[in-house]
């Protein structure tokens, strides 16, 4: 395995993901994604690879009670966390469905907006997934795809280096996989799927994780598909990963000693034909 298999994520990992990664990163970018997509009251929104529902909840807030949101993800344990949130006053209702991005369990031309926040890079068949999003959109419907970039400038680079040193290249490659889809390839995929008016952007936000530098690697790993393999590794190796990453991150903290660094995402905005 050299990429993240989110369908295999289980145990406490989905809850750890929601508690540690979502507030620091995904909630922030989800809010601005709704602004960039122009999600408005009454919109019907499809969130593909919804995870624990950060973008779905942001979409529900933007679409309001007159709108609707459907979140689709492969992983039932992850969806269980998404479904645990109480509906927000004034927000659209959210339906969370288990399904594959290449065979979305939704009707044709039934959405005003389709989005995929930091998920497309993991799909084995990206063109098929984009074709499905196009099928689900009404003519002229809006598409938003966000994928991470610039791993060398964010704290996950420190964890990747520590994993490679103490657990091997494959472990490092797994954690690097969210950052491997380059902007030019993203644009080519969206254009190749038949979308129009493709607008490529780069967004950067300062993010703060609720962890000291030496805590960052263990908490990051516990929130993803590497959690079980890392827990099974020798304790000496686990401690070494935490210490090495902590040393690399020691200069990137806020006034409270929490890790603070930028995250950068590529963003493709487009429209379905019609």
Tens digits of per-residue pLDDT, 44-103? 999 999 999 999 999 999 999 999 999 999 999 999 999 999 999 999 999 999 999 999
- DSSP character string of 130-171: HHHHHHHEEEEEEEEEEEEE-GGGSTHHHHHHHHHHHH-HHH
Q: 213 near 253, Cβ under 8 Å?
A: yes
Q: Which residues pair with 146 in a beta bridge?
A: 117, 267
Encoded tokens for 42: 């009454």
- Res 128 pLDDT > 90: yes
- Res 138 pLDDT > 90: yes
Q: How confident is the model at residue 7 (pLDDT cuts 50, 70, 90)?
A: low
pTM, full prediction: 0.95
Tens digits of per-residue pLDDT, 241-271? 999 999 999 999 999 999 999 999 999 999 9
- Res 1 pLDDT > 60: no
Q: 72 near 117, Cβ under 8 Å?
A: no
Tens digits of per-residue pLDDT, 194-232? 999 999 999 999 999 999 999 999 999 999 999 999 999
- Please report, for residues 159, 222, 245, the alpha-carbon distance to residue 214 in angstroms, rounded to integers and kept in the order given: 10, 14, 7
% the chain with pLDDT above 70: 97
Label residues 138-156 b or e (16+ Cβ within 10 Å = b): beebbbbbbbbbebeebbb
Q: 242 near 215, Cβ under 8 Å?
A: yes
Res 11: pLDDT:
80
- Res 10 pLDDT > 70: no
Q: 91 near 101, Cβ under 8 Å?
A: no
């Amino acid at each position: 395995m050299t990429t993240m298999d989110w369908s295999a994520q289980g145990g406490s990992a989905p809850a750890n993901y929601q508690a540690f990664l979502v507030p620091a990163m995904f909630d922030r970018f989800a809010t601005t994604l709704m602004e960039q997509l122009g999600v408005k009251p009454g919109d019907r929104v499809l969130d593909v690879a919804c995870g624990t529902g950060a973008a779905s909840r942001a979409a529900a807030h933007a679409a309001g009670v007159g709108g609707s949101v459907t979140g689709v993800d492969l992983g039932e344990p992850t969806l269980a966390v998404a479904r645990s949130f109480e509906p927000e006053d004034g927000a659209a209702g959210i339906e969370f469905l288990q399904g594959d991005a290449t065979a979305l369990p939704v009707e044709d031309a039934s959405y005003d907006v389709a989005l995929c926040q930091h998920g497309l890079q993991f799909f084995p068949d990206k063109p098929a997934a984009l074709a499905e999003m196009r099928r689900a959109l009404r003519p002229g419907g809006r598409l938003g795809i966000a994928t991470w970039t610039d791993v060398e400038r964010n704290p996950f680079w420190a964890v990747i280096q520590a994993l490679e040193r103490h657990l091997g290249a494959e472990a490092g490659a797994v954690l690097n996989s969210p950052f491997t889809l380059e902007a030019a390839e993203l644009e080519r995929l969206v254009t190749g799927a038949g979308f129009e008016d493709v607008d490529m952007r780069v967004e950067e936000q300062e993010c703060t994780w609720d962890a000291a530098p030496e805590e960052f690697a263990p908490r990051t790993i516990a929130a993803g598909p590497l959690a079980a393999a890392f827990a099974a590794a020798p304790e000496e190796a686990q401690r070494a990963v935490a210490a090495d990453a902590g040393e690399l991150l020691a200069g990137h903290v806020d006034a409270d000693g929490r890790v603070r660094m930028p995250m950068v995402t590529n963003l493709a905005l487009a429209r379905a034909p019609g």
